[in-house]
Amino acid sequence: MSSILIIGGGVIGLALAREFHKKGFKEITILEKGLIGQEASFAAAGMLAPQAETNNADAFFNFCNESNKMYPNFAEELSDATSIDIELDRNGTLYLAFTERDTQEIRKRFEWQKDAGLEVELLSARETHKLEPFVSPDSLESLFFPNDWQVENRKLLIALKKYAELNDIQIIEQTEVTNLIFENEKIKGIQTESGKLFSADLVVLATGAWTSLIKHDEGILQMPKVKPIRGQMISFHTAKRLFTKVIYSRRGYIVPRKMGKILAGATVEDIGFENKTTDEGIEMVRENAIEISPSLANLPIDEKWSGLRPFANDGLPILGEIPNTENLFTATAHYRNGILLAPITAKVLVEKIVNKKDSEFLDKFGIKRFNSANAI
């Protein structure tokens, strides 16, 4: 196997390309229907938050946690290779409670995380304010997760793209793949919208929310459905940095970046491929941010945007080989955590493809977990 085609140039496709390159592959091509890194990966908030985003110490939590642990090294290697700092920020994350129900929820979270041996602190309102003085005085208590971090996801995409360019990974933009071409159970190549054919020894679908739109010869390809879940976000700007940590409530979150930028998110909407902001969506995100910190109420919205999260019907990633094919793989459906999960996804999938190394994560998140009722 020598030539590799990766379809989709989001964080997952780019991270896979880098990992294949690190293993010594020379002929790697990324085909992207738009521009590299401009879809969900660009829209994301960049939170690396296993403890805020999961509800149990299960396989998904372990997958998130392992990937989070890879980030310091991932950031350093990218910086060495590209001179781009992806701004890994390890100040931690707060999770606030404003109501009785919120309090119950964060205490439950505190218990399972303590039982699992994770670092987590339950803070009083006074302790919370000491850490973040601009948090609402209405917050009752909070959890502090020192190991939930954030990264500047747009810089991460620029760094991964630069890595590809510096290492002769071919990037072909504005080229939509429409068909997968098989001979018996082997993929021979792909066809683009303009009818152009590309052949390859191995193909990986890293096509995010659009994965189910690619055509194939039914009898052969069994892929579970992936659908888009829209998220709308906004940002504010302040002259100096008001917050040091990512701050969640049960309804929203704010992410303070360097230089006074504050992101706020996000809606969760099952409305198909309509990738745009709406007045109601933006207002909801703004209100949820103001609940976290009333200091945001008088700030104008600096930027607003939306993105489509790739969602499988059990909310978990879909990774690994596609059944009944020999050389077709996928890494998709990372839903709310694709930025966090990019390093581990690339590592376990490329290890499987190149060294035939199995992983408990490929077992858990493989396509075989779906029954045929979910197949397209």
- Which spans of this chain sit near ligand FAD (rule: CB under 6 A)? 7-13, 31-34, 39-41, 43-47, 176-177, 206-210, 214, 231, 233, 265-266, 307, 309-310, 332, 334-340
Residue closer to ligand FAD, measured from CB, 41 or 141: 41
Residue closer to ligand FAD, measured from CB, 33 or 109: 33
Which residues have C-beta within 8 Å of that of residue 147, sequence separation ≥ 6? 50, 51, 68, 92, 118, 119
DSSP 152: -
Distance CA 98, CA 372 (A): 43
Residue closer to ligand FAD, measured from CB, 180 or 290: 180
Residue closer to ligand FAD, measured from CB, 30 or 141: 30
Q: CB of 125: closest distance to ligand FAD in angstroms?
A: 26
Q: Which residues of 62-80 are buried (b: 16+ CB within 10 A; e: fewer)?
A: bbbbbbbebbeebbebbee
How are beta strands 253-256 and 261-265 bridged, if at all? antiparallel
Q: CB of 96: closest distance to ligand FAD in angstroms?
A: 17
Residue 140 in 3-state DSSP?
coil
Q: CB of 254: closest distance to ligand FAD in angstroms?
A: 12
Distance CA 373, CA 376 (A): 8
* Backbone angles phi and psi of 361, in degrees to 5: -70, -40
Q: CB of 130: closest distance to ligand FAD in angstroms?
A: 26
State the angle between helix axes of 338-355 and 59-82 in degrees (0 to 180), rounded to the nearest 10. Answer: 90
Q: CB of 269: closest distance to ligand FAD in angstroms?
A: 10
Q: CB of 292: closest distance to ligand FAD in angstroms?
A: 15
Q: CB of 172: closest distance to ligand FAD in angstroms?
A: 9
How are beta strands 226-237 and 186-192 bridged, if at all? unpaired
Residue closer to ligand FAD, measured from CB, 103 or 179: 179
Closest CA to 160 of 258, 96, 240, 75: 75
Residue closer to ligand FAD, measured from CB, 142 or 310: 310
Residue closer to ligand FAD, measured from CB, 146 or 294: 146
